[in-house]
Amino acid sequence: MELLVRLSGLLAVLLLGTGLRTTGLLDAGRTARLNALAYYVALPALIFVSTYDRAIGGLLSPALLAGLLVVVLATAGLAWLVHRGRDSSERRSVAVVQSYHSNLGYLGLPLVAATFDADVTAVASVVLGVVTLTQLPLSILVLSRLNGADAAVWDELRGLATNPVLLSLLVGLTVGSIGLAVPGGVATGLDAVGSLALPLALLCVGASLQIDRPAVDFGATSAVVGLKIVCMPALAWLVFSALAVDPATFTAAVVMFGTPTAVSTFVFAAELGGDAEFASLNVFATTLASIATLFVLITLVG
C-alpha cells in the first residue's frame, strides 16, 4: 500500500506539471529554468551524496558492466528487428531509439533513491553513468545514420564531456575511492538538495508531455511501449539473475531499466531528422504506462 501511495503521488506531480503547462503557469521559460535546476543542481547533488563514501571497485563490478551492455544492446537489436518494416526512416529511427533509451536521470535514479536504501541508490548512480555513456551515443548514431544528419553527431557527442550527471558521478567515485572526508554539514546540505531531484524532474517531464495530434500509429507506439517498459526490464531480470549479482545490484539494474522512454529522445528526434510528433506521443505513452509497470516491478524486486 505504501508503494502504491508513493507512485500515485508521483503520478499526481507528473500530471500537475502537465496541468501547469496547459494553464500557462509553467511556460517554456519557467520549464527551462526548472529543468536547469534539476539537471545541473539537484540531480548532481543526489549522485554525489550517493557515491562519495564508496569506492568504485565496490560498485562497478565486471558482472554489472557486462550485464548493462548486454541489456542495452540486446534491446536495441530487438527493436531494430521489430521496427525494421516501418514506412519511413524518420519514424523507424525514432521507434528503435525510444524502445531502449531509458529515462534514468529524471525518473530512474530519483525514484530508486526515494524507494530503496543507500546501497541500491549507489549502484543505481553507476548504472546511470554507464548506460548514459552507452545509450546516448547509440541513439545519436541511429538517428543520424537513418535520417542523414551526420553533421550534428559530433556536436551532440561533445556534450558528454560537460554532462553534469557524468561529472558528478566521476567526482563522487573519486572522492570515495581515495577516501577523502566530506564534512557532515556539506553532505547533509547536498542530501537536502538532492531530495528535490524527483519532484523537480517530475514537474519538468509532466510539462513536456503532450500529444501534437499526429496520425497516431497504434501498432508502432504499442511496440515501443512493450519493448521499453516490459521487455527491457524482463531481459534485465534474466541477465542479472544469470550473472548472480548481489541483491542491491540486481534491484538497481532491473528498476532502472523499467523506466520509460527519456524525454531527451524527443529533442534528439527533432534535431536529427526523426518524426518529432511520433516521438512526443511515445514519451507520453511510455511514461504514463510505466506508473503501473513500475509498481509491479518494484513490488517484485522489493
Q: Which of 20-29, 129-138, 213-222 tops mean pLDDT?
A: 129-138
Residue count of the chain, please give it: 302
C-alpha cell at 274: 526523426
Half-sphere exposure of 95 (CA within 13 A, CB side): 24
For cell 538517428, the residue is: 143
Residue 155 confidence (pLDDT): 66
Of 82-91, 166-175, 235-244, 278-287, which one has max mean pLDDT? 235-244
The three cell numbers of residue 96 are 528503435
In this predicted structure, what is the pLDDT of residue 74? 97
Q: Which of 6-10, 16-20, 97-101 has the highest mean pLDDT?
A: 97-101
User: What is the rounded average pLDDT of the residues 24-41?
Assistant: 84
- The arithmetic mean of pLDDT across residues 147-170, rounded, is 72
| Per-residue pLDDT tens digits for 57-78 | 888 899 999 999 999 999 999 9
What is residue 1's predicted lDDT score, i.e. its pLDDT?
Answer: 57
For 140-172, give one letter per residue: b (16+ CB within 10 A) or e.
bbbbbebbebeebbeebeeeeeebebbbbbeeb
How confident is the model over 81-114, as pLDDT tens digits? 999 888 788 899 999 999 999 999 888 998 898 8
pLDDT of residue 214: 53
Domains and CATH numbers, the chain: 2-301 (1.20.1530.20)
Instruction: Please enumerate in sequence order all residues whose Cβ is within 8 A of that of 103, keeping only pairs 6 or more positions apart, or say none.
Output: 205, 259, 260, 261, 262, 263, 287
| The C-alpha cell that represents 122 in the structure block | 549507489
Cα(264)–Cα(189) distance, rounded to whole angstroms?
A: 29
- Lookup: cell for 71: 541489456
Q: Has this prediction a pTM greater than 0.85?
A: yes
Residue 63 identity: A
Higher per-residue pLDDT: 250 or 23: 250
Least confident of 62-66, 135-139, 147-151, 278-282: 147-151
Strand intervals (E) in 174-217: none
- The pLDDT of residue 63 is 94
Average pLDDT, the chain: 86
- Interval 193-219: pLDDT, tens: 888 887 887 787 778 776 655 557 788
Cβ neighbours of 8 (radius 10 Å): 11
Predicted pLDDT at 201: 78
C-alpha cell at 271: 534535431
Look-up of cell digits 507506439: 221
Three-state DSSP at 258 gives: coil
